[in-house]
Amino acid sequence: MTDKKFDYDLFVIGTGPGGEGAAMQAAKGGMRVGVAERYTQIGGGCTHWGTIPSKALRNTITATTRALRNPVFREMGINVSPTLEQLKRGTQTIIAQQVNMRQSFYDRNQVPVHFGDAKFVDQHTVTVGTDCDPIRSKHFVIATGTRPYHPEFVDFDHPRIYDSDTVLDMEKKPATLSVYGAGVIGTEYASMFRNLGVKVNLVNTRDKLLEFLDDEITDALSYSLREQGVMIRHNETVDRIEGLDDGVILHLKSGKQVKTEALLWANGRSGNTENLGLENVGLEPNSRGQLEVDEQFQTKVTNIYAVGDVIGYPSLASAAYTQGRAAGMHLLGQRDGNLRIHDIPTGIYTSPEISSVGKTERELTEACVPYEIGQSQFKSLARAQITGETTGMLKILFHRETLQILGVHCFGANASEIVHIGQAIMHQPEGQNTLEYFVDTTFNYPTMAEAYRVAALNGYNRLF
């Protein structure tokens, strides 16, 4: 029964994937739902500054460079160098399509969008912007996302210093670029700019790239980036950054100096929580502006949930949407579970791309699980030979006694699509989640999916 003390049963702050997932789930469950969005359009950072524009640009760069490398084009004398402006031209069209589609979700489910900055007044009340009455809601979901971390000693107003949001507004392709920070965002942009012919220095504050990945995949990525011409510098920490008229000098604490035409700061993100009025409801974010939640995405104030990048790891658009749905389900009392949030695949859009789900070799070894490995090298697949994208591998980790699939790791073209086949089998009931599925199944030929059969037989042959 509707509680007339409140304007809404649920009010969601932010319309990125996390906010959308929560709002749609609750609305379809019969709740009165409203949302707030501080930007002029819905979609959040995912649609406007992160996932969609960066992946659209990556796709254009990859497709264009692949075409220009085609021997037929070269034989015809086609040898052009597209500008960054030309490559970015289609991105706004894709963003507009995404906004229109997502707006239709809110319209169809009768979820009003309030534009403006939301701020808590108390546990059940927010204001949005300056021109509306306070809005009262029984529950809230905070899905405000993150923004690039800006340390005080970096002059982001300098025309040659960028973060992961502003780099998409870069007008002219630099000849050389330093990327400080070798996490997911840093490695993706290093790969993207190298494909454009830019000489890239990738400066990593740790001793290896993307430590959360399987070691063999990490090694393959490092080798591939170096082979493409990316200079990787591990275990380096910034001392200061000197912006000049003709470039940027990155001064490192090791004493090294790296001068390039431009610098991309890709070291960390901050939660968008500083102007939410959290002090009025007794919530305090951590030093990076992130909120702590429990398994059901509730903060310590039980009627206020938080989902998406604002709660930290894994900081993926896919995870945010699932978390939003899980919070909505918990509000509706439909489910106390969390929609497989512990088995969310990674998708890293380097060139080639990386995707994985489940355990790594390192984790299984530490847990003393008797596992075995099945591998398939893409260079042996007919489909990869046809497309010319032979760099990469598929790796299946399975229990050597039960044959249960424990992890799937993929590096190469279309990895983020290929991994879902393994993900689906991993989550079948016991006895049906084994290597035998891939050994016995007929795959279309030639396809990249055939890598599962090759890898499964490779692993099966290791058993004795």
Last residue of a domain, one of 316, 343, 370: 343
Q: What is the mean pLDDT of residues 297-315?
A: 95
* 187 annotated as ligand-binding: yes
Q: pLDDT digits over 245-259, tens only?
A: 999 999 999 999 999
The reply to whether 190 falls in a domain is yes
**Domain count for the chain:** 3
**46 and 167 co-located in one domain:** no
The reply to whether 123 falls in a domain is yes
Distance CA 28, CA 35 (A): 15
* 184 annotated as ligand-binding: yes
The reply to whether 83 falls in a domain is no
Q: Averaging pLDDT over each range in 53-67, 74-88, 129-143, 436-450, which range is the top one?
A: 436-450
Among 60-74, 178-192, 370-384, 442-456, the least confident range: 60-74
The reply to whether 74 falls in a domain is no
- For the cut 80, the answer to whether the pLDDT of residue 156 exceeds it is yes
Sequential DSSP letters for 255-295: S-EEEESEEEE-S-EEES-TTS-GGGTT----TTS-----T
**193 and 213 co-located in one domain:** yes
* 13 annotated as ligand-binding: no
**282 and 263 co-located in one domain:** no
The reply to whether 193 falls in a domain is yes
- For the cut 80, the answer to whether the pLDDT of residue 132 exceeds it is no
Pairwise pLDDT comparison (204 vs 74), residue with the higher score: 204
**14 and 142 co-located in one domain:** yes
Pairwise pLDDT comparison (36 vs 62), residue with the higher score: 36
Q: Hey, what are 159's tokens?
A: 């025309």
Give the CATH number for residue 381. Answer: 3.30.390.30
Last residue of a domain, one of 284, 309, 343: 343
66: exposed, middle or buried (Cβ count in 10 Å: 0-12, 13-18, 19+): middle
- For the cut 70, the answer to whether the pLDDT of residue 337 exceeds it is no
The reply to whether 152 falls in a domain is no
**99 and 141 co-located in one domain:** yes
- For the cut 70, the answer to whether the pLDDT of residue 2 exceeds it is no
* 183 annotated as ligand-binding: yes
The reply to whether 332 falls in a domain is yes
**317 and 172 co-located in one domain:** no
**219 and 239 co-located in one domain:** yes
Confidence category of residue 338, pLDDT binned at 50, 70, 90: low
Q: Hey, what are 253's tokens?
A: 């604490």
Distance CA 50, CA 315 (A): 12
- For the cut 60, the answer to whether the pLDDT of residue 464 exceeds it is yes
Residue whose token pair is 């993706």:
188
Closest by alpha carbon to 415, among 457, 371, 355, 341?
355
Instruction: List the domain range (segments joined by +) for residue 106.
Output: 8-52+89-147+270-343
- pLDDT in the model for residue 322: 93
Q: Hey, what are 8's tokens?
A: 């809404």
Q: pLDDT digits over 219-249, tens only?
A: 999 999 999 999 999 999 999 999 999 999 9
Distance CA 209, CA 211 (A): 6
- For the cut 90, the answer to whether the pLDDT of residue 107 exceeds it is yes
- pLDDT in the model for residue 209: 96
* 45 annotated as ligand-binding: no
Confidence category of residue 336, pLDDT binned at 50, 70, 90: low
- pLDDT in the model for residue 1: 45
**296 and 262 co-located in one domain:** no
**Radius of gyration in angstroms for the set of CA atoms belonging to the chain, rounded to a whole number:** 24
**19 and 39 co-located in one domain:** yes
Confidence category of residue 422, pLDDT binned at 50, 70, 90: very high
**101 and 210 co-located in one domain:** no
The reply to whether 278 falls in a domain is yes
**255 and 295 co-located in one domain:** no
Percent of the chain residues past pLDDT 70, beyond the cut: 97
* 161 annotated as ligand-binding: no
Last residue of a domain, one of 250, 267, 284: 267
* 268 annotated as ligand-binding: yes
* 415 annotated as ligand-binding: no
User: Residue 10 region, left (φ>0) first, then alpha (ψ -120 to 50), else beta?
Assistant: beta
Q: pLDDT digits over 203-220, tens only?
A: 999 999 999 999 999 999
Give the CATH number for residue 35. Answer: 3.50.50.60
Percent of the chain residues past pLDDT 90, beyond the cut: 87
Distance CA 56, CA 62 (A): 10
* 18 annotated as ligand-binding: no
Confidence category of residue 266, pLDDT binned at 50, 70, 90: very high
Q: For all residues of the chain together, what is the average pLDDT?
A: 94
Closest by alpha carbon to 228, among 70, 348, 349, 351?
351
Structure pTM? 0.92
